Amino acid sequence: MPIWLAIIMGIVQGFTEFLPVSSSGHLALVQNIVDFEAYMSSHIVFDIALHLGTLVSVVIAFWDDIKFLFVSGLDWVRHGFKIEKHEGRNTVFMLFIATLPLVIAYLVKDYIEAAFQNPVLIGFALLYTAAILYISDKVNGGKKTGGTITIKDALVIGIMQMIAVLPGVSRSGSTMTAGLFTGLKRDFAVKFAFLLSIPAVLGATVTSIPDVLAMTWTGNDILTFLIGIVCAAVSGYFAIFMVRKIAASKNFKYFAYYCACAGTLAIILGMMGII
């Protein structure tokens, strides 16, 4: 794979993973435009590598929260898995609950991978993302935070994350919107959505190990993967900063307009066979 392509895809992944416009949809469209299969037989391994880059940006941006939740998780185990509305323990448990629906997505991963080759489907998924983002600006959210989020809230958010495995559906946009609808405080809904990406990416990484082992690696492959990861990490960190500011000011509608335009264009070009 040429280095320029790794740089472009890393930047696209970093910004679109956290800006609510669907990183998977944009990566899939880029891969269709440049005929990615001519450079690499499987896009999945490279996509996971780029997600690891964005995982680094989440860890850096939320390092204090992650340390607090790690200690709270150990405390949760030590106290016999009792929650008792403790801010940290309850958040750890709800992140676990919200991650569970991804098991269903893993069972149908072959169908999901096929969707990456369908620009028209990606276009309709982007239109769906546009709709939920537009609605999210109309929702004020509530007062729930880590100590008061419920199992029902976590499951709703988790189901929305499961749907977002489809290329074109924004994971961050879906989970933030779901958090607002369930009554989470706006800043906590954003934080919970980003923290929820950690187990999702780690799980995807583990399940992709057989694909990694099946690849024939060259020195160029390792270099381009590292470049892509670094670009995704740097751009992802800036995207997180932007989203936290945008969420507070309720300006997701502009991303909704963008997704609507991108989705419509993808549908038209896909139907015409251009991409």
What does the radius of gyration of the chain's CA atoms come to, in whole angstroms?
Answer: 18
The neighbouring-strand residues paired with 184 are 144
Q: What is the pLDDT of residue 179?
A: 95
- In the chain, the number of structural domains is 1
For residue 273, count CB atoms less than 10 angstroms from its CB and return exposed for 0-12, middle for 13-18, buried for 19 or more: exposed
In tens, the pLDDT along 20-35 reads 888 888 888 887 787 7
Place of tokens 């609507």: 260
CA–CA separation, 190 vs 177, rounded Å?
9
CA–CA separation, 212 vs 216, rounded Å?
9
Nearest to 256 by CA among 173, 194, 192: 173
C-beta of residue 147 within 8 angstroms of C-beta of residue 86: yes
CA–CA separation, 208 vs 203, rounded Å?
9
Q: What is the pLDDT of residue 70?
A: 92
Which long-range contacts (C-beta less than 8 Å, at least 24 apart) are formed by 203-208? 203/99, 203/102, 203/106, 204/48, 204/51, 205/48, 205/51, 205/52, 207/106, 207/109, 208/44, 208/45, 208/48
Q: What is the pTM of this model?
A: 0.86
pLDDT band, residue 265 (cuts 50/70/90): very high
* pLDDT average, residue stretch 203-232: 81
pLDDT band, residue 16 (cuts 50/70/90): confident
- Domain range spanning residue 211? 3-271
pLDDT at 49 over 60: yes
